[in-house]
Amino acid sequence: MAKSITFFNNKGGVGKTTLLCNIAAYVADEYEANVLVIDADPQCNATQYMFDDKKLSYFYEETSSFTLYNVIRPLSLGKGYSRELSVSPSPRFDVDVLPGDPRLALTEDLLAKDWGSAIGGDSRGMRTTLLFAELMKRCDGYDFVFFDVGPSLGSINRAVLLGSDYFIAPMSIDIFSVKAIENISTWMSKWKKQWDVGVLNVDDPEEVDTELTRELKFVGYVSQQYIAKADSKGTKRAVNAYERIMRQFEGVVSRELSETAPLAAPNKSFDLGAVPNLHSLIPLSQSARAPVFKLKAQDGVRGAHFSKVKDSRETFGAVAKEIVERSGWRE
């Protein structure tokens, strides 16, 4: 069964999509895993990162294309779950992708409305809310399914998390990321209690497969976008201003999330690793539609950039190793 993992933070601009896409590519490359990325963010940043302009035009201009909207639309028309699933391989990331679609924003109201019915035990509302849990049944050929979501505390993200085994919190080094963790904890605790009530009161149990939902576990957090400098021993560390904030993360995450979701690795730190500011490598990566650690001379890499590209493979690899191990893959 595929391991489904959502990268989620209530704060935008934390480098969530860049982290997810590079981790997905690393896991596919280094572990020879079959990986699917599902872009459930209406802004479609992951889709734009992993495909060139010609392919993007095809996704959004041709009626023969298939995006996540094609999965959701039958529900909005009252036709039930879509039986079709068509994915597109990303050439440089070497993963399959279910592309996002700006029209996903139009489904937010549908999912919000049906959530109100679901927590009252209405079977139709519950089936709508289980959209992504149902979708996971069509992903059995994959080892990992990574969900990219927007920064909202809305109905789309709630439905994604109901279909996820794990979630990861990418965090930028600022006080707003700390506050975002508190928001996530409050929101998740509330909707989980509401969902449990809906399951107990479902009006037509035969119509709703509540076993589809997975026990969502917290894998940990990843610190990102900080400035690093070498210390006297040559080890790169966050400069003091960032390190002071980073030291708060473990306590805040432990306090806020340890009771909201079970831990994937109870005996480990919540810290999955750190990704410093990669500066110009990020726009190069985005322009090339390639993982940072696979950038080449033809992508614009010059001089000292080559060593930074090599370093980035170790950086993303360290985080990926923790995720793979904590998810219990191949155990």
Residue 302 tokens read as 């010059």
Look at residue 42 in the predicted model and tell me its pLDDT: 95
Domain of residue 272, residue span = 3-326
Provide the pLDDT confidence category of residue 235 given band limits of 50, 70 and 90. low
Look at residue 241 in the predicted model and tell me its pLDDT: 56
Provide the pLDDT confidence category of residue 18 given band limits of 50, 70 and 90. very high
- Residue 213 and residue 162 in contact, taking contact as beta carbons nearer than 8 Å: yes
Look at residue 302 in the predicted model and tell me its pLDDT: 92
Lowest mean pLDDT among 103-107, 173-177, 286-290, 311-315: 173-177
Residues sharing a CB contact under 8 Å with residue 256, sequence separation 6 or more, in sequence order: 181, 182, 184, 185
Look at residue 19 in the predicted model and tell me its pLDDT: 97
Quick check: 180 pLDDT over 60?
yes
Look at residue 35 in the predicted model and tell me its pLDDT: 98
| pLDDT digit string, tens, across residues 137-172 | 999 999 999 999 999 999 999 999 999 999 999 988
- Measured between alpha carbons, how far is 33 from 324 in angstroms, rounded to an integer? 10
Q: How many domains, the chain?
A: 1
- Specify if 331 maps to a domain: no
In this prediction, residues 110-127 reach a mean pLDDT of: 93
Look at residue 242 in the predicted model and tell me its pLDDT: 61
In this prediction, residues 199-205 reach a mean pLDDT of: 89
For the chain, the C-alpha Rg in angstroms (whole number) is 20
- Specify if 51 maps to a domain: yes
- Specify if 188 maps to a domain: yes
Residue 45 tokens read as 């940043």
Look at residue 234 in the predicted model and tell me its pLDDT: 54
- Specify if 50 maps to a domain: yes
Look at residue 231 in the predicted model and tell me its pLDDT: 53
CATH of the domain at 156: 3.40.50.300
In this prediction, residues 285-308 reach a mean pLDDT of: 95
- Specify if 40 maps to a domain: yes
Quick check: 298 pLDDT over 90?
yes
Provide the pLDDT confidence category of residue 5 given band limits of 50, 70 and 90. very high
Provide the pLDDT confidence category of residue 226 given band limits of 50, 70 and 90. low
- Specify if 171 maps to a domain: yes
pTM to 2 decimal places: 0.93
